[in-house]
Amino acid sequence: MELIPAIDLLGGRVVRLSQGAYDRVTEYDDDPVAVAREFARTGAERIHVVDLDAAREGRALQAEVVASIVAAVDVPCQVAGGIRDADAVATQLRAGADRVVLGSALISHPLLARTLTERYGPDRVVAALDVRDGQALGDGWVADARGSEVMSLAQRLAAAGIRWFAVTAIVRDGRMRGPDYELLESVRTIVPGAAVIASGGVSTLADIRELAARGFPAAITGRALYEGAFSLAEALRVAGER
Name all domains of the chain by residue range, CATH numbers in brackets.
2-239 (3.20.20.70)
pLDDT at 58 over 80: no
Dihedral, CA atoms, 39, 100, 195, 44, nearest 10 degrees? -10
- 176-182 contact pairs (CB < 8 A, 24+): 176/201, 176/203, 176/223, 176/224, 176/227, 176/229, 177/201, 177/203, 178/202, 178/203, 178/204, 178/207, 179/207, 179/210, 179/211, 179/219, 180/131, 181/210, 181/214
pTM beyond cutoff 0.95:
no
> Residue 148 — very low, low, confident or very high, per pLDDT cuts 50/70/90?
confident
Q: Which of 74, 94, 92 is CA-nearest to residue 84?
A: 92
Catalytic residue IDs: 8, 130
Under the banding of pLDDT at 50, 70 and 90, the label for residue 171 is confident
3-state SS class at 138: coil
pLDDT at 222: 93
Q: What is the pLDDT of residue 60?
A: 75
Average pLDDT over residues 227-234: 96
- Residue 50's DSSP bridge partners are 8, 80
For residues 117-125, average pLDDT: 97
| Angle separating helix axes 181-190 and 150-159, nearest 10 degrees | 40
If one counts every other C-beta atom within 10 angstroms of the C-beta of residue 57, the result is 14
Cβ atoms of 110 and 131 closer than 8 Å: no
